[in-house]
Structure 1
Amino acid sequence: MKKIPADKKFIENIRVIDIAEEGKGVGKADDLVLFIEKAVPGDLVDAELIRKKKNFAEAKITKLTEASEHRTEPFCPHFGICGGCKWQHMTYDAQLQFKQKSVTDALSRIARIDVSSTHPILPSFETRYYRNKLEFTFSNKRWLTSDDIENNNDAEMNALGFHVPLRFDKILNIETCYLQTDPSNEIRNSVRTFSLENGISFYDLRQHEGALRNLIIRTSTTDELMVIVVFAYPEEGQVESLMSFLQSRFPQITSLLYVINQKKNDTIFDQDIHVYAGRDHIFEEMEGLKFKIGAKSFYQTNSLQAYELYSVTRKLAGFSGNELVYDLYTGAGTIANFVARHVREVIGIEYVPSAIEDAKLNSSINNIGNTTFYAGDMKDVLDAEFIARHGKPDVVITDPPRAGMHADVVARLLEMEARKIVYVSCNAATQARDLALLKEKYRVLKIHPVDMFPHTQHVENVVLLELHDQ
Structure 2
Amino acid sequence: MERYAAEGKSIAHLEDGKTLFVEGAVPGDIAEVLVLKNKKSYAEGKALKVEIPSADRVTPFCEHFGICGGCKWQMLPYEKQLEYKQIQVTDQLTRIGHVALPPIEPIAGSGLQRHYRNKLEFTFSELSYLTREEIAAAGEDEIARKPALGFHAPGMFDKVVDIRTCHLQPEPTNKIKNLLREIALEQGLPFYDHRQQDGWLRNVVIRVATTGEVMVNLIVKYDREELKMMLDTLLKEVPEITSLHYTINPKMNDTIYDLTVHTYKGKGYIEEYLEDFRFKISPKSFFQTNTRQAERLYQITRDFAGLTGNEVVYDLYCGTGSIGIFLSKGAKKIIGIEAVPDAIEDAKLNAEWNGLQHCQFYAGDVSDIATDAFFEAHGRPDVIITDPPRAGMHEKLIQQLLRMRAPRVVYVSCNPATQARDLQLLDEAYKVLRLQPVDMFPHTHHIENVALLELR
For Structure 1 versus Structure 2, the TM-score category normalised by the shorter chain is: over 0.9
How far, CA to CA, are the matches of 1:347 and 1:246 in structure 2? 42
| Contact persistence 1:210–1:233 (CA under 8 A) | no
How far, CA to CA, are the matches of 1:31 and 1:453 in structure 2? 34
How far, CA to CA, are the matches of 1:173 and 1:222 in structure 2? 29
Which letter does structure 1 place at the counterpart of 2:124? F
Aligned to 1:87: 73
Matched, 1:433 2:421: yes
Aligned to 1:139: 125
How far, CA to CA, are the matches of 1:116 and 1:316 in structure 2? 14
User: What secondary structure, in the 3-state scheme, does the structure 2 residue paired with 1:168 have?
Assistant: coil
Structure 1 range deviating more: 453-462 or 38-47:
38-47
- Within-5 A mapping of 1:274-313: 274-313=262-301
How far, CA to CA, are the matches of 1:27 and 1:425 in structure 2? 28
Q: Deviations over 1:340-390 (max 9, x none)?
A: 111110000001111111111011111111100000122222233322322
Matched, 1:447 2:435: yes
Matched, 1:39 2:25: yes
Shift of residue 244 of structure 1? 1.0
How far, CA to CA, are the matches of 1:55 and 1:464 in structure 2? 35
Matched, 1:202 2:191: yes
Shift of residue 62 of structure 1? 5.0
- Within-5 A mapping of 1:354-433: 354-433=342-421
Shift of residue 233 of structure 1? 3.0
Structure 1 range deviating more: 36-45 or 299-308:
36-45
Structure 1 range deviating more: 154-163 or 75-84:
154-163
Shift of residue 63 of structure 1? 4.9
Residue of 182, 190, 213 corresponding to 2:171: 182
Matched, 1:223 2:209: no
Which letter does structure 2 place at the counterpart of 1:257? H
Which letter does structure 2 place at the counterpart of 1:120? P
CA RMSD of aligned residues (A): 1.5
Shift of residue 90 of structure 1? 1.5
| Contact persistence 1:141–1:157 (CA under 8 A) | yes
Residue of 306, 309, 333 corresponding to 1:318: 306
Structure 1 segments, 4+ long, off by >4 Å, are none
Q: Deviations over 1:130-186 (max 9, x none)?
A: 000000000001111233223217466110000011110010100110100011001
Shift of residue 107 of structure 1? 1.2
| Contact persistence 1:348–1:374 (CA under 8 A) | yes
How far, CA to CA, are the matches of 1:75 and 1:19 in structure 2? 24
Shift of residue 33 of structure 1? 1.7
Q: Deviations over 1:57-78 (max 9, x none)?
A: 2323355343223221111111
How far, CA to CA, are the matches of 1:419 and 1:425 in structure 2? 19
How far, CA to CA, are the matches of 1:130 and 1:19 in structure 2? 25
- Within-5 A mapping of 1:47-196: 47-152=33-138, 154=142, 157-196=146-185
| Contact persistence 1:379–1:406 (CA under 8 A) | no
Structure 1 range deviating more: 399-408 or 43-52:
43-52
Shift of residue 127 of structure 1? 0.5
Residue of 25, 40, 53 corresponding to 2:10: 25
How far, CA to CA, are the matches of 1:369 and 1:383 in structure 2? 23
Which letter does structure 1 place at the counterpart of 2:241? I
| Contact persistence 2:102–2:432 (CA under 8 A) | no
Which letter does structure 2 place at the counterpart of 1:366? N
Structure 2: 5+ residue stretches without partners: none
How far, CA to CA, are the matches of 2:4 and 2:352 in structure 1? 48
How far, CA to CA, are the matches of 2:34 and 2:315 in structure 1? 49
How far, CA to CA, are the matches of 1:446 and 1:61 in structure 2? 37
User: What secondary structure, in the 3-state scheme, does the structure 2 residue paired with 1:51 have?
Assistant: strand
How far, CA to CA, are the matches of 1:288 and 1:61 in structure 2? 47
Which letter does structure 2 place at the counterpart of 1:263? K
Aligned to 1:6: none
How far, CA to CA, are the matches of 2:366 and 2:67 in structure 1? 38
TM-score by length of 2: 0.96
How far, CA to CA, are the matches of 1:101 and 1:113 in structure 2? 17
| Contact persistence 2:22–2:33 (CA under 8 A) | yes
Structure 1 range deviating more: 76-85 or 443-452:
76-85
Shift of residue 89 of structure 1? 1.5
| Contact persistence 1:442–1:467 (CA under 8 A) | yes
How far, CA to CA, are the matches of 1:435 and 1:279 in structure 2? 44
How far, CA to CA, are the matches of 1:32 and 1:160 in structure 2? 41
Aligned to 1:12: none
| Contact persistence 2:101–2:433 (CA under 8 A) | no
Shift of residue 17 of structure 1? 2.4
Shift of residue 53 of structure 1? 2.5
| Contact persistence 2:102–2:433 (CA under 8 A) | no
CA change 1:46–1:138 in 2 (3 A) is closer
CA change 1:230–1:62 in 2 (3 A) is closer
CA change 1:61–1:402 in 2 (3 A) is closer
Structure 1 range deviating more: 401-410 or 140-149:
140-149
Shift of residue 224 of structure 1? 0.4
How far, CA to CA, are the matches of 1:323 and 1:19 in structure 2? 40
Which letter does structure 2 place at the counterpart of 1:288? D
How far, CA to CA, are the matches of 2:332 and 2:272 in structure 1? 25
Q: Deviations over 1:85-133 (max 9, x none)?
A: 1111112111111111111111111221344511100000100110000
Matched, 1:262 2:250: yes
Which letter does structure 2 place at the counterpart of 1:259? T
Which letter does structure 1 place at the counterpart of 2:13? K
Q: Deviations over 1:213-233 (max 9, x none)?
A: 000000111000000000003
Aligned to 1:245: 233
User: What secondary structure, in the 3-state scheme, does the structure 2 residue paired with 1:167 have?
Assistant: coil
Shift of residue 458 of structure 1? 0.6
Structure 1 range deviating more: 78-87 or 40-49:
40-49
| Contact persistence 1:104–1:115 (CA under 8 A) | no
